[in-house]
Amino acid sequence: MESGRLSSTEQALIRESWQKVSGSSLEHGIVLFTRLFDLEPDLLPLFKYNCKQFSSPQECLSSPEFLDHIRKVMLVIDAAVTHLENLPCLEEYLANLGKKHQAVGVKVESFSAVGESLLYMLEKSLGPAFIPDVREAWRRLYGAVVQAMSRGWDTHKEGN
Ligand code: HEM
């Protein structure tokens, strides 16, 4: 991934902070997605299971399929944290994951609201431990993940 290797200090800050969050990852993922729908309510219609549209973020956040998506997102973050020293090994998987998101109508730009929501969730969970260096390390890691996912977007298609 191109955005520069994370320093060993950044890696340590990320690992330490993720340890406090990953024990109850669904709960934290719900905080993340609740914030996401506050920031970008227009993302709600992208989540439909068996062609059924949710009428409110609350309804979406209580559906088993959506909770599964939250678990999937948290697992991808967990994989990134596990492979901090060798993020390029996730490159192909993430590009493919990006491709799947393009297919369901997600735009690359929407991932920045997900990033803000991730930082929000970390801030809420870590409190004073969420110092600027921790925030910056997470911003860089998330940026690397999104950059890898965005390689999966087919830029020749409309709506990317
Ligand atoms: C704008 C935000 C996002 C939207 C609207 C979105 C939407 C979706 C939808 C509709 C699916 C297919 C149905 C499902 O599996 O639930 C999906 C699958 C998935 N999403 Fe997302 N997603 C978003 C962000 C993310 C992020 C940030 C990650 C991880 C970093 C992620 C990880 C996954 C994974 C692992 C799958 C399963 C892919 C597979 O079946 O192989 N999603 N997403």
The string of pLDDT tens digits covering residues 39-75 is 999 999 999 999 999 999 999 999 999 999 999 999 9
Name which residue leads in pLDDT, 4 or 124.
124
Distance 128 CA to ligand 1 centre (A): 30
Instruction: Provide the pLDDT confidence category of residue 118 given band limits of 50, 70 and 90.
Output: very high
Instruction: Provide the pLDDT confidence category of residue 158 given band limits of 50, 70 and 90.
Output: low
Protein residue with its CA nearest to atom 10 in ligand 1: 47
What are the backbone angles phi and psi of residue 48, rounded to the nearest 5°? -140, 135
What HEC string does the chain produce? CCCCCCCHHHHHHHHHHHHHHHCCHHHHHHHHHHHHHHHCHHHHHHCEECCEECCCHHHHHCCHHHHHHHHHHHHHHHHHHHCHHHHHHHHHHHHHHHHHHHHCCCCCCHHHHHHHHHHHHHHHHHHHHCCHHHHHHHHHHHHHHHHHHHCCCCCCCCCC
Q: Which atom of ligand 1 is least distant from the CA of 104?
A: 10
Q: What percent of the chain has pLDDT over 90?
A: 92
Cβ contacts of residue 42 below 8 Å, gap of 6+? none
Average pLDDT (78-87) is 97
Cβ contacts of residue 69 below 8 Å, gap of 6+? 47
Summary mean pLDDT of the chain:
94
Q: Which atom of ligand 1 is least distant from the CA of 68?
A: 16
Instruction: Provide the pLDDT confidence category of residue 2 given band limits of 50, 70 and 90.
Output: very low
On the question of pLDDT at 13 being above 60, the answer is: yes
Tokens for 93? Answer: 């998987």
Q: How confident is the model at residue 107, as a pLDDT?
A: 95
On the question of pLDDT at 110 being above 70, the answer is: yes
Q: What is the amino acid identity at position 100?
A: K
Protein residue with its CA nearest to atom 31 in ligand 1: 73
Q: 49 has which bridge partners?
A: 52
Q: Which domains does the chain have, with CATH numbers?
A: 8-150 (1.10.490.10)
Tokens for 99? Answer: 């491709």
Tokens for 47? Answer: 């989540």
Contact 137, 80 (CB under 8 A): no
Average pLDDT (84-93) is 96
